[in-house]
């Protein structure tokens, strides 16, 4: 039954691709059809996933279907867990995109977009059910191709093209690392079946293969230093389909880590410490840049890097438990990482789907131009706020419960004997704690300044006309009058904004179309899921325990539920948490405080009182001036200046005004990829000289190479 459902899903996705390539581009009435078929396929996939979690494992031998060895399909609870999550999120993304393309969104209606999306869903299913190396890599490379298709459809300039190529190159690098790692394991086990890798003997080759496999999956999820593609590629995808990349497809990387955890067995301590510390650094780097970015889609993409770091750190705890043969620690780490994957997937899908509605209304994703948009789209803004609170790890969302599990798992380092592992977990815990604080700042800026802030951009327009400087405490308050400070994320950020003279506001009214109204149900369900999953967290944990059975025995995970509605981080005698009772008491507290305030004030608390607003102690700060999205994060640019690569310099504007420009740059891009690029260009320039050489020189090169090979062969013999 499970196999039949998956086969039906693949057929529906194939039909969606055919409809898009054959008729979707020329017939507006058929534009939503591929996404409707994709929604049906996703629902079928979710049903197959639930059955797989609740049923025994099953392996189907397809023979030599690909003519590259024995092709097998494996359905077990771990596969079912991922299929369920991917299927449910696929329904949400497909329905939202079907409504979105029904409007005047030309970027998403070009031929090939829906086919690329269908390829993405099909590739994810192939990766999740693959039981052999060849079918796994086939799905993996097809997924990389779908990323390239979706991020390259809106290519209008060189930066757009480079973003899609960067996604393609990173995906190919990830596939190459996995290929070499799989081949090393295959040479040791003499089998291309993934299940056979558990018999690989320990040694240098096994350690090398494990390192390559972990690096390959980490590259897909955005771990440092291979995270640079995410903030550039995600915003290039059309509208709601960004959610398919960030909330849906990236989960296959985490599934791969989960799948290979028992297959790789105990690993060297240095590799476990690398995962722990590398995950923590990834989380801090991602949230630091999310807190200072001025573009909505890039900010959300950077938060994907942050959450990848959190998940990898929790996975490092599981690796530590596997290495030291402590099943309880393994269970604590893998359960915390799985909860964080769930929270991130739901919240990131919510953010990108609701963000596409907000962006469509203003025709831009700049934070300053989105100011006050939440007042015009309360439902989309509400869903967006709940997703932001989830990623910030704040109660009463599922993100609070998942980050609590991650921190509690990292606090178990005292149970380990090796000093290196204890120090690695302590370092990872400190970095995760720092990340949690920075995430609260980043999403407070997003919700408070953008969604709930006053509408318009009068302050920025006044500043560009040479008027008064910004409010006290903001970026504009640094320096004297006539001197202002602007942000520069690798470029001059002083572009005109809505409301400035001579600037026409584009895209206004798109957000109020019928296409947006059709997404109301999806946004309501996703926003409710951010809180609802926390309310029923014990039931969620029970489902995760069933799905994680192939990785860790269910008996080891059972103590995570201390009682029917109380959770603990697997280890008994440690701290406990009840998201369910917390939500109930929070609701009761709100009602009680409201009733008391009404009774004590005799209804006066509801009366509107108008008083002059406080304008700070600066004389030249006007009533109509307020914090900008840049000014709110300016303090962080100074505190984390070294990490952000922040630099400031003064330039003179066209009107003679002194402008303080602040620029930030990713350290990996500045100190790793920029020198590497210069070195490769120099090397290619040197090699280019060989193209115009003489025939005698080429013969000499061949002779020298032949002699070198003969000498090497003689020495090795």
- Hey, which residues does 648 pair with through a beta bridge? 662
Contact 418, 272 (CB under 8 A): no
Provide the token pair at 234.
């995600």
- So what's the pLDDT on residue 500? 36
Successive 10-residue mean pLDDT values, the chain, 717 residues: 84 90 72 90 93 88 72 89 93 89 62 88 93 91 91 68 85 92 90 88 89 92 87 87 90 92 88 93 90 86 91 93 90 92 94 87 80 81 90 89 91 87 92 90 82 60 40 34 40 36 38 56 90 91 90 84 81 80 89 90 78 64 63 73 71 68 74 82 77 73 88 80
Helix axes 77-101, 520-535, angle to 10 degrees: 150
Give kind and range of the element (H or E) at residue 74. Answer: strand 72-75
Q: How far apart are the first and last CA of the chain?
A: 57
Contact 311, 319 (CB under 8 A): no
**Shortest CA distance to 16 belongs to which of 106, 135, 98?**
98
Per DSSP bridges, beta strands 483-488 and 658-663 are parallel
State the number of CA atoms in the 13 A half-sphere of 148 facing the CB. Answer: 14
- So what's the pLDDT on residue 278? 93
Measure CA 137 to chain center: 22
Indicate the pTM of the whole model. Answer: 0.85
Contact 216, 181 (CB under 8 A): yes
Cα(423)–Cα(410) distance, integer angstroms: 11
Contact 194, 136 (CB under 8 A): yes
- So what's the pLDDT on residue 458? 44
The helix/strand/coil state of 72 is strand
- So what's the pLDDT on residue 598? 87
The helix/strand/coil state of 132 is strand
- So what's the pLDDT on residue 589? 92
Cα(313)–Cα(458) distance, integer angstroms: 43
- So what's the pLDDT on residue 635? 74
Contact 193, 242 (CB under 8 A): no
What does DSSP assign to residue 61? E
């Amino acid at each position: 039954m499970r196999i039949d459902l998956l086969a039906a899903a693949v057929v529906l996705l194939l039909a969606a691709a055919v409809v898009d390539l054959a008729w979707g581009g020329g017939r507006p009435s058929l534009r939503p059809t591929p996404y409707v078929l994709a929604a049906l396929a996703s629902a079928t996939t979710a049903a197959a996933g639930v059955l797989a979690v609740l049923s025994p494992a099953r392996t189907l031998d397809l023979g030599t279907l690909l003519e590259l060895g024995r092709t097998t399909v494996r359905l077990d609870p771990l596969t079912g867990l991922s299929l369920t999550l991917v299927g449910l999120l696929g329904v949400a993304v497909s329905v939202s995109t079907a409504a979105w393309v029904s409007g005047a969104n030309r970027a998403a209606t070009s031929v090939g977009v829906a086919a690329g999306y269908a390829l993405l869903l099909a590739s994810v299913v192939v990766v999740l059910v693959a039981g052999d190396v060849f079918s796994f890599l086939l799905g993996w490379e097809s997924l990389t191709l779908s990323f390239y298709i979706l991020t390259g459809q809106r290519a209008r300039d060189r930066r757009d093209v480079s973003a899609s190529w960067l996604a393609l190159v990173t995906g190919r690098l990830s596939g190459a690392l996995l290929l070499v790692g799989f081949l090393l394991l295959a040479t040791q086990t003499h089998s291309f079946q993934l299940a056979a890798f558990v018999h690989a003997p320990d040694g240098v080759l096994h350690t090398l293969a494990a390192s390559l496999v972990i690096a390959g999956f980490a590259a897909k999820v955005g771990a440092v230093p291979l995270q640079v593609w995410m903030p550039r590629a995600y915003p290039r995808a059309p509208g709601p389909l960004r959610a398919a990349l960030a909330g849906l497809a990236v989960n296959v990387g985490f599934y791969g880590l989960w799948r290979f955890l028992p297959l790789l067995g105990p690993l060297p301590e240095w590799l476990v410490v690398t995962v722990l510390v590398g995950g923590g650094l990834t989380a801090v780097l991602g949230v630091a840049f999310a807190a200072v970015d001025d573009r909505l889609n890039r900010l959300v993409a950077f938060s994907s890097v942050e959450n990848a770091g959190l998940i990898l750190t929790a996975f490092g705890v599981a690796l530590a438990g596997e290495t030291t043969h402590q099943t309880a620690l393994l269970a604590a780490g893998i359960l915390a990482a799985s909860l964080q994957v769930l929270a991130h997937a739901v919240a990131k899908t919510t953010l990108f789907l609701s963000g596409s509605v907000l962006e469509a209304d203003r025709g831009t994703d700049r934070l300053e131009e989105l100011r006050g948009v939440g007042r015009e789209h309360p439902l989309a803004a509400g869903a967006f706020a709940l997703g932001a609170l989830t990623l910030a790890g704040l109660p009463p969302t599922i993100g609070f419960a998942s980050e609590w599990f991650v921190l509690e798992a990292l606090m178990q380092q005292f149970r380990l004997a090796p000093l290196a592992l204890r120090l690695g977990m302590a370092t990872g815990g400190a970095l995760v704690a720092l990340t949690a604080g920075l995430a609260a700042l980043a999403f407070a800026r997003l919700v408070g300044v953008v969604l709930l802030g006053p509408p318009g951009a009068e302050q920025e327009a006044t500043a560009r006309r040479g008027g008064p400087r910004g409010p006290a405490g903001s970026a504009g308050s640094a320096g004297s009058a006539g001197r202002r400070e602007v942000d520069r994320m690798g470029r001059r950020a002083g572009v005109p904004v809505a409301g400035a003279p001579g600037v026409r506001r584009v895209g206004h009214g798109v957000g109020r179309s019928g296409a947006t109204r059709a997404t109301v149900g999806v946004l309501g369900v996703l926003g409710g899921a951010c809180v609802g999953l926390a309310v029923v967290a014990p039931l969620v944990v029970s489902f995760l325990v069933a799905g994680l059975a192939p990785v860790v025995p269910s008996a080891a995970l059972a103590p995570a539920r201390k009682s029917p509605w109380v959770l603990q981080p697997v280890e008994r005698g440690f701290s406990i948490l009840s998201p369910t009772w917390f939500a109930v008491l929070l609701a009761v507290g709100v009602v009680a405080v409201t009733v008391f305030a009404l009774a004590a004030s005799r209804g006066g608390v509801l009366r509107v009182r108008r008083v002059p607003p406080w304008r700070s102690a600066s004389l030249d700060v006007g009533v109509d001036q307020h914090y900008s999205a840049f000014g709110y994060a300016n303090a962080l640019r100074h505190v984390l200046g070294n990490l952000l690569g922040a630099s400031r310099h003064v330039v003179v504007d066209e009107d003679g005004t002194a402008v303080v420009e602040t620029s930030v740059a990713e350290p990996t891009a500045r100190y790793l990829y920029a020198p590497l690029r210069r070195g490769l260009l120099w090397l290619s320039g040197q090699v280019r000289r060989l193209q115009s050489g003489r025939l005698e020189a080429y013969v000499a090169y061949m002779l020298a190479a032949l002699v070198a090979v003969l000498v090497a062969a003689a020495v090795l013999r």
